Structure 1
C-alpha cells in the first residue's frame, strides 16, 4: 500500500494576497484557482518540482478561523520546505522579501533556517544532509 499527504489546508486572510506572496516570495506554482461560488475559491499552490503534497489556500470564513490565520500551530514551526540547494533558495527568498527569524544554521540533519509567511506562520527552509 502507498499513501501520501495530497494537500494541507492553510488558512489565509485573502486569496489574492496569499497567491501573490507564495508565488513571488517562495516561487511556488499556482496549480488551480477555481471559483466555488459564494466568495469561496479552490486555490492550490505547490513548490517547483513537487509532485505530491500541495497547499490549499483556504480563506478564513468564520471568526474562529480568522483568529487562526498566521497561528495554526501556536507559534511552532508549521511546515518544512525541503530544497536541493539551500543557499540558492535562501538568497532568492531573501531578495524577494522573505522574513527570516534567525540566521541559517548547520544541524546534524542538514542546513536550516526558520522564516515566516505573510501571516506569521513559521516554516523551516531545509536541505537535508546527504548520507
Structure 2
C-alpha cells in the first residue's frame, strides 16, 4: 500500500494576497479557487513538477496565519531557484551549504516558512 502526501495546508490571513504571492512571485500553478459555500473558500496551488499541492482559503484551517513551518521543496539547483525567487521579488536567504544538501529559505507575507533543498550528489 502506498501513502502519498498530496496536500499541505498553509494558513494565511489574506487569500487574494497569498494567491498573488504563490502564483506570481513563487511560481506555483493555481489549480483551484472555489467558494464552496458561506464562509468557505478553497484555493489549491501546485509547485512546478510536484505531486503535492498547497491549500489555503477561508474556513478551512484552524491554524494561525503564519504558523506553518518545516515544509521543504526539493529543487535541482538551489542557486538557480534562489535567483528565480529574487527575480520575482521574493526575499530569499543565501544558499546554505550543508552535508545533507544546499538550502534556500523564504517566508510568505504571513510568515509561513519554506525551505528549498538541493539534494547532495549521490556517491
Category of TM-score, reference length = shorter chain:
0.7 to 0.9
Aligned partner of 1:96 in structure 2 is: 88
The one of 95, 113, 120 equivalent to 1:122 is 113
Q: Is the 8 A contact 2:24 2:88 kept in 1?
A: yes
Question: For the residues of structure 1 that align with 2:59 and 2:13, how far apart are their CA atoms?
Answer: 6
Q: Is the 8 A contact 1:44 1:55 kept in 2?
A: yes
CA shift for structure 1 position 115: 1.3
1:110 corresponds to 2:106: no
Question: For the residues of structure 2 that align with 1:117 and 1:126, how far apart are their CA atoms?
Answer: 17
Let me know the Cα RMSD of the aligned residues: 1.9
CA shift for structure 1 position 32: 0.9
TM-score, normalised to structure 2, is: 0.87
List 4+ stretches of structure 1 deviating above 6 A: none
Structure 2: any 5+ residue segments left out of the alignment? none
How many pairs does the alignment contain? 122
Q: Is the 8 A contact 1:8 1:56 kept in 2?
A: yes
Structure 1: any 5+ residue segments left out of the alignment? none
1:14 corresponds to 2:14: yes
The one of 61, 68, 71 equivalent to 2:67 is 71
1:36 corresponds to 2:31: no
CA shift for structure 1 position 60: 6.0
The one of 78, 85, 95 equivalent to 2:77 is 85
Aligned partner of 2:58 in structure 1 is: 59
